[in-house]
Amino acid sequence: MKNRNIDHKNDWKTPNSIFEFIEKKFWIKKQDLFDPCPFQHDMSWNWLEIEWRKYNFINPPYSLDLKTAFVKKAIEERKKGHNCIMLLPVSTSTKLFHDYILPNKDLIIFLKGRVKFSWWNTKWEWVDNKCWMHDSMIVVF
């Protein structure tokens, strides 16, 4: 991804195309998914300490520490019988992928093309066509 006029934040809006894919693939509608870290969430509550629900969609922050914490939380929630669908960057050579994702996943779907996220750029213009620097995958726990 070219860095011009993009504010590198951990809070990018998930495009509707991802929710359409989830509904088509898993028959779960967006309104039936709990999002423990929603776009522009209230920072006064900790997403990792709250109880998740039966069906969860997580587009976690992509910084390594937060992404790892959300993957570990999704694994814990799966052990409670909760279903977790995560949108993650593809990084198959990492410790996170080999030590946590691979041994605990129910399913991995590598997405064709790069996901186009939405956010305000550094000029405070709303953009919804900016691709992340990695390919993306859907991981189901």
Q: What is the pTM of this model?
A: 0.80
CA atoms within 13 A on the CB side of 115: 25
Q: How far apart are CA 102 and CA 97, in angstroms?
A: 6
For 19-30, write each residue's pLDDT tens digit: 999 999 999 999
Q: Would you say residue 101 has pLDDT above 70?
A: yes
Residues 6 or more apart whose CB falls under 8 angstroms from that of 46 comprise none
What was the pLDDT predicted at 10?
Answer: 56
